[in-house]
């Protein structure tokens, strides 16, 4: 697969590394609105800088990975589909439902292999949990708890353009919830506060949130977000059912343990997504390439992006109105 990367920022660099390490993909080109950033990254990974126009016009390029800034996603997404290229798009396609639906319509008319950057589904531990639940290891799933805390809050200017915690951060957890609950979600209840950085509150956002989802059969799901955990990236899932419980625990760099006067000490969790999801990013590329080769659907789809966004909208409305929101009312 000849793959072009659009976006040479932090997440673009993560993908460049994962693409290069994959034996079945060639990093054919890199685009960035700051051309010198594209050139620098191209130098590191033996690729070439190219404009997005040139990329979409180049018939030797099979696929694009969209890792540019959020407001540009939808347009590049549509151009990729229209030029017949497979597309792996970082989430979200857009911050609102209407624009997202437009992009999905373009995809319907121009069907190409399409995956969305919900990287956590590719994490080996979460994959193993999903598989164990599917195999009935815990009997019937009853409740799910997802804890997701970032090590540090983003700067206030980022927050202002982010679409808010539910669309920007909890969107990943909504996707995990949908994937693991494995049946329609019916109701959403949200509670949230600004406890960490007053500037986030002044920007109209929250930094600490708890959301409860209910499914058609009555399963309950708790999502727990904080923009700051001093000990690092806190990424845990607990699935509880009639036959037991599965817990995905935080991972550490090594298993070294020190015992001294102060107690028994193990390492703190890996610091952030670059470390924690390094394997997931590699597997995400592999799933995308393999799906394209085998003409099968990738593990994630553009539709998953739309559905996660609907949950974010519902959570936002629930927070404002102080009541549970029926997901059917979010159109």
The Cα 305–Cα 302 span in angstroms is 5
Q: What angle do CA 259, 265, 268 make, to 5 degrees?
A: 160
DSSP states along 104-137 = HHHHHHS---EEE--GGGG-HHHHHHHHHHHTTT
Distances from the Cα of 30 to the Cα of 27, 57, 63, 157, 215, angstroms: 8, 14, 12, 27, 42
Closest CA to 209 of 227, 186, 197, 233: 227
Q: Between residues 101 and 324, which has the closer beta carbon with respect to its own copies?
A: 324
The Cα 310–Cα 92 span in angstroms is 12
Q: Between residues 156 and 210, which has the closer beta carbon with respect to its own copies?
A: 210
Q: Between residues 18 and 86, which has the closer beta carbon with respect to its own copies?
A: 18
CB 98 within 8 A of CB 286: no
Nearest approach, Cβ of residue 45 and its own copies (Å): 10
Nearest approach, Cβ of residue 206 and its own copies (Å): 9
Buried-exposed string 168-204: b where 16+ CB fall within 10 A, e elsewhere: bbbbbbbbbbbbbbeeebbbbbbebebebbebbbebe
Nearest approach, Cβ of residue 113 and its own copies (Å): 27
Q: At which residue do the structure tokens 């202002």 appear?
A: 160
CB atoms within 10 A of CB 64: 28
Q: Between residues 85 and 130, which has the closer beta carbon with respect to its own copies?
A: 130
CB 6 within 8 A of CB 55: yes
Q: Between residues 47 and 125, which has the closer beta carbon with respect to its own copies?
A: 125
Q: Between residues 265 and 297, which has the closer beta carbon with respect to its own copies?
A: 265
Q: Between residues 108 and 249, which has the closer beta carbon with respect to its own copies?
A: 249
Closest CA to 114 of 78, 75, 87, 94: 87
Q: First-to-last CA distance in the chain?
A: 37
DSSP state, residue 250: P
Nearest approach, Cβ of residue 255 and its own copies (Å): 4
Nearest approach, Cβ of residue 56 and its own copies (Å): 30
Q: Between residues 98 and 230, which has the closer beta carbon with respect to its own copies?
A: 230
Which two structure tokens, joined as six digits, stand for 167?
């669309």
Nearest approach, Cβ of residue 117 and its own copies (Å): 22
Nearest approach, Cβ of residue 314 and its own copies (Å): 13
Nearest approach, Cβ of residue 26 and its own copies (Å): 13
């Amino acid at each position: 697969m000849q793959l072009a990367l659009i976006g040479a920022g932090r997440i673009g660099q993560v993908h460049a590394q994962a693409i290069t390490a994959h034996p079945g993909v060639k990093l054919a080109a890199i685009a960035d609105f700051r051309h010198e950033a594209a050139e620098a990254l191209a130098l590191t990974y033996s690729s070439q800088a190219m404009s997005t126009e040139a990329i979409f016009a180049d018939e030797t390029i099979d696929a694009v990975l969209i890792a540019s800034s959020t407001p540009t996603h939808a347009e590049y997404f549509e151009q990729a589909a229209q030029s017949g290229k497979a597309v792996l798009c970082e989430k979200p396609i857009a911050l609102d439902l209407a624009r997202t639906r437009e992009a999905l319509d373009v995809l319907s008319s121009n069907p190409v292999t399409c995956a969305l950057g919900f990287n956590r589904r590719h994490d080996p531990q979460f994959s193993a949990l999903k598989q164990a639940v599917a195999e009935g290891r815990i009997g019937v799933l009853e409740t799910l708890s997802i804890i997701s805390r970032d090590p540090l809050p983003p700067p206030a200017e980022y927050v202002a353009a982010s679409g808010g915690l539910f669309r920007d951060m909890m969107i990943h957890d909504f996707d995990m919830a949908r994937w693991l609950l494995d049946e329609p979600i019916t109701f959403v209840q949200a509670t949230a506060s600004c406890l960490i950085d007053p500037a986030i509150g002044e920007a109209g956002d929250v930094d600490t949130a708890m959301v409860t989802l209910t499914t058609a059969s009555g399963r309950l799901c708790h999502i727990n977000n904080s923009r700051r955990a001093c000990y690092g990236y806190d990424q845990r899932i607990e699935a509880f059912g009639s036959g037991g419980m599965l817990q995905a625990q935080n991972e550490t760099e090594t298993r070294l343990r020190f015992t001294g006067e102060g107690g028994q000490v193990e390492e703190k969790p890996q610091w952030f997504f670059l470390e924690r999801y390094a394997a997931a990013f590699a597997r995400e590329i592999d799933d995308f390439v393999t799906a394209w080769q085998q003409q099968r659907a990738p593990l994630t789809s553009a539709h998953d992006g739309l559905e996660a966004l609907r949950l974010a909208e519902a959570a936002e409305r629930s927070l404002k109105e102080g009541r549970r929101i029926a997901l059917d009312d979010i159109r």
